[in-house]
Each structure stands twice: as C-alpha cells, then as structure tokens.
Structure 1
C-alpha cells in the first residue's frame, strides 16, 4: 500500500465506498494495528493506502507507549485477532524535537501534558546526547526518532503478559517503521 501511495496510485475511493461502509457497520477485522504519532502529516490509512476497516490505528504524540496504548493494542489483538503491530514513527517528529529542546534548555514552566510526552521520549534521546551522534543536531534527531521507535517496539513486546503470550503462541508480530515526511516512503526495521 505504501508503494501505491508514493506512486500516487491510491485506491482510496474504492476503500471507503458506501457498500464497504455498510459491510463494516456491524463488524471489523483489521489486519494490522498501527501505533503511530498523532502528527497530522502521518495518517496511517493514507500512507499505507488502506480503507475503512483495514487498520486499527492508535495515534499519540511521539508514538509513545503508555498503559492506554498497551491496552488498545491488546484489545485489537485479542478481539479482532490482528497479528501485526507496527510502531510507526516519522522523520522530524515534534515530540523528539521538543524532547531535545527540553534536554538542552530545561524549563520549569513547561506545560504538564507536554512534559509527560517529553518524559516518555527522554530515554530515547538522552542516551544519544552523550555520544558522537549528539554533537550533530540532524543526526541526533534521525537517530532519536529510530531509537524511540525501537524502544516503543520493545515496550510492547515486553510490557504486557497478554501480548507476550500472543507473540510466543499465536504469531503476533511487533515491528518498527519510519515514515519519511520528505519522500512518503515507509522503512521497516528488523529489531
């Protein structure tokens, strides 16, 4: 679907037709769960060229993993039997940029809700700031986005007994991916 999106060959009209809406009115069976960033430039259904009922999408700033996101992933994996979870980050993520800014110039008056996002992203960025990567802002951003995706994948894989069981015994896969705002291409990671 992402290849169709990048090539501007989308099937979106047929994926949201009246007959499709009616067929989904009483049931859904998404084939994948997407835990993605709430950034307005990263709508999972569009970038994967999917329609109504195809994806169970959870969006939160910085594609962070908190108890409600774990619960939502469990909900769809158990109830809808979706067997693929994609943690979808993206280039130039505002949550990453805000975290880097907060680590460079901590502010006591930072909004409480922003601080809660920054605090969840912080471990992904903080460890890189002490390395060579931390000396180059563009590299720090790029590596922090990917590190944040990796950490979210690991939290989902190990943060829930139900998800661990589904991974071990029922074929649930949890993978990471990064969407490029510049090219529209999604790159999947093997970790």
Structure 2
C-alpha cells in the first residue's frame, strides 16, 4: 500500500489503497474518522463524488464506512442479504459507475454469512426456506455449486467463493461495467471481512489503473 491520497481519488489503484489503509487504521485501533464533520456535511449538500462503490451484505456487523475508516460522501453503498444480485442492484451499481463515475467496485463478503449458510443448509437437506428467503437462497446457489465443484466445503471459504463469483457476475451481467473494465477505467475487486478481528482481505487482485 502507498501513502494516503492527498487529492481527489480518481483511479482504482488509489481507491483500493485508500480503503486498505483505512482498514489498517481500524485494525490498529487508531481510526482517523475522516470527512465526518459539519464542514464535510455542508460541502456535500450540493452533490457527491464517492471514490468507491461497496456492494456488500446487509449484515449489521459489517458497516463499510467504519471498517474502512471513511466518512460522508466517500463510499456509495449497495447492500442486500448475501450481496445477491437482482435488477435493482445492477441499476444502483450502474448509477454509481455511469453517473458518479466511481473507479472501483468492492464486492464485500464476510465470514459466518447467514445467507450463505442458509443456502448450504438447503443444498444439504433438500428443503428450501419459505417466502422471499427462498429467492436469496436461489441467487446464492450458483456460487455454492461452484465452490462444491472445486471441493470447497467450509462455510467461510464458500463465502469467499461467493464474493469472487459475484464480482464476475456483475461484469458479465452489465455491459456498462464490462466496457469500463475493458478500457481500464473501472476495477471490480472481491474482498472478505473477518468479524472477529476486523481485517479485510483481497480475494482476487485485478489489473489496476
């Protein structure tokens, strides 16, 4: 990782370094709490220019602004249980990329993910949950099958596989994202967060501008 950025963050490389440096501060117990004061609040009233989009799980224990030590206007957030992808998610992410021009998307998984565990339980028992929980299980199932095909059985490693597969899926499903990845103006990076110690690890490093 390089030193913290001192100007606007406009590349995926700088954005990723900024997130990892923030996580290092969080881990060390010495967060800087940047961009969380009244001046920043007033400054953002007329518009936003986040430097990264975090597509993560809805889990209450995984608050991206805290674990990456960032503040108002820094991160564009999209969250669903198990970070499952539907049309609304793709539209929200395309907004972040096409309108706000974020250079980096992070797909953020975490250990002990309830959505992934529910999918693994359904796969093993052959019994699907009721209501709309069934839809979440259906959307996570391709990642579970990919993990099992590779001999992955441990739940937290399945979570990691799900984050990687979701990162690939976003680019496959969205021509707008695929175009920007191809021309080097966007990177999509899967990461995993550990609940017990707070560390975020990169699961698959892309070529970064």
TM-score, normalization by structure 2? 0.83
Residue of 62, 87, 96 corresponding to 1:67: 87
Deviation string 1:18-54 (CA, Å, 9 cap, x unpaired) is 1110000111000000000000000111100000000
Matched residue of 2:78: which SS? strand
1:124 is aligned to 143
Q: How big is the alpha-carbon RMSD for the aligned residues of Structure 1 and Structure 2?
A: 1.6
Matched residue of 2:46: which SS? coil
Query: Structure 2 unaligned runs (5+)?
Result: 1-21
Matched residue of 1:11: which SS? coil
Shift in CA distance, 31/129, structure 1 to aligned 2, threshold 3 Å: same
The answer to whether the 8 A contact 2:119-2:144 is kept is yes
Q: 2:103 matched to 1:83?
A: yes
Distance 1:161 1:40 in 2: 31
Aligned length: 184
Equivalent runs, 1:38-117 vs 2, <5 Å: 38-107=58-127, 110-117=129-136
Deviation string 1:139-180 (CA, Å, 9 cap, x unpaired) is 2x0221011011100011111111111112251000100001
Q: 2:2 matched to 1:2?
A: no
TM-score, normalization by structure 1? 0.90
1:142 is aligned to 156
Matched residue of 1:24: which SS? helix
The answer to whether the 8 A contact 1:33-1:85 is kept is yes
Deviation string 1:63-108 (CA, Å, 9 cap, x unpaired) is 1222211111110111111100000000111111111111122335
Distance 1:130 1:169 in 2: 32
Equivalent runs, 1:155-166 vs 2, <5 Å: 155-166=169-180
The answer to whether the 8 A contact 1:90-1:145 is kept is yes
Distance 1:86 1:132 in 2: 26
Distance 2:141 2:45 in 1: 41
